[in-house]
Structure 1
């Protein structure tokens, strides 16, 4: 019963982050699965992709309904990341668990620091999209998604705003499209690691994340985006410190 409560609580936090920030929650899913729910690093990254794909696909619907998804940009961004996601997913299952944990913690730390420094200011309007920039950013995101089992919204949202010139609301909605596609691509390369997954944990975790994403979207309209972003950034940095310590001790 304790495991069920932990899965529900962790899923709710992940969903709130994904729904409110368009990213950040997925990078919390892996450490929650490892340290709270006793998954191995490889199983946790695979389970995270399942959770993230289901949650972002659901949240994508609400953002699309509000007109906050730039489909052409998102599809171009995601298409460039499909092959890197497949390669990263295939490579992840062949690496030592300590190395995978260390790599994940470094990315989490980088993401936390990046979120802590960045501002969530809206642009007046979307700028013209540069296909080469979209493809380059998408390929990088896909590789990280496949390798570490995270959706990558913490990287996609800043890139969509600063590099591709989308407004923040559009960047959050479009990032969900990108995350859904790259997560599904990465999962196809991880079919060999799906055996033995604890679905009795993944199912409630995913259900709570989906519900949390709806709450996150509403929360983002009531609480300062900067406050929400900084809170998750601090949590990410703390999680990264714990995982780095665990990887080398």
Structure 2
């Protein structure tokens, strides 16, 4: 349990992220458990699924009280996601740890880019009473598979899917996503437990810290502009993603100038893609006339 105190502090930040943004827990949990707590890769992913699952289940309560949860949609998406997450957790036993973390880093970069650019809100458009079931099931399985395999792809994949596919208002999409995240995380954990042992003492301590953070994040949610927080968090995840990716480079390749030049070009391309586009306009309130997409 080396680095226990920094691990618990990081767990509080994980909870704050879930409470504020409805996602981001697994993006932080895996690097925290792997690099700060010193857990092996598969054990870090399994523990992160437990932490994020319990924390999401607690964080959904204030959203439910405020009627910001679409239960039918969340349960349908969540059941499909559970199936995908369980399969992903079982498949992870056959994937080399370095490849798992590389896939996780790529997921971090893609997620960070989406967070920085922002997402089109469904505000102003009528939300359909029933979502297309086939699409919900397909997206749920796909997102769940990613979650179970690399321990990522929770709220920052589920929220856009619910907002864009179902036309749900962003606050409702965030609240509903927490139901989905909890369901998928527990299913992914079940898949991992077939071949991975968990340090339950550490897992419980980290989970309790994350739950405390989620309650704090929930209290701050109405006081801090969510778009500014999302962008700042996105840049942080972008840097962290490159750090995780660099850790996976074989030792013999780390002195190759061409490799680092290629990584620098890739980083510049992602920064440009994240920093340009209609980000500002997405953060503004819609005009009275509305916008045509």
TM over 0.5: yes
5+ residue gaps in structure 1? none
Partner of 1:227: 228
Partner of 2:12: 12
Partner of 1:159: 161
When residues 200 and 108 of structure 1 are mapped into structure 2, their CA distance, relative to the original with a 3 A threshold, is same
Q: How does 1:16-165 map to 2 (within 5 A)?
A: 16-119=16-119, 121=121, 123-124=123-124, 127-128=127-128, 129-150=131-152, 152-165=154-167
- Whether 1:181 aligns to 2:186 is no
> 1:201, CA displacement in angstroms?
2.3
Moved over 6 A (4+): none
Listed one character per residue, the Cα deviations across residues 18-74 of structure 1 (whole Å, up to 9, x for unaligned) are: 111111122110001111110111111000001011101111122111111100111
Partner of 1:202: 203
- TM-score by length of structure 2 reads 0.80
Higher Cα radius of gyration: 2
The whole-number CA distance in structure 1 between the counterparts of 2:97 and 2:149 is 12
When residues 91 and 32 of structure 1 are mapped into structure 2, their CA distance, relative to the original with a 3 A threshold, is same
The whole-number CA distance in structure 1 between the counterparts of 2:151 and 2:126 is 30
Partner of 1:248: 249
Residues 24 and 153 in structure 1, CA contact (< 8 A), matched pair in contact too: yes
The whole-number CA distance in structure 2 between the counterparts of 1:97 and 1:175 is 28
> 1:13, CA displacement in angstroms?
0.8
Listed one character per residue, the Cα deviations across residues 177-224 of structure 1 (whole Å, up to 9, x for unaligned) are: 0011111111111113442x2233222211111011111122221111
Residues 4 and 204 in structure 1, CA contact (< 8 A), matched pair in contact too: no
Aligned-pair RMSD on alpha carbons? 1.6
Secondary structure at 2:3 match in 1: helix
When residues 209 and 151 of structure 1 are mapped into structure 2, their CA distance, relative to the original with a 3 A threshold, is farther
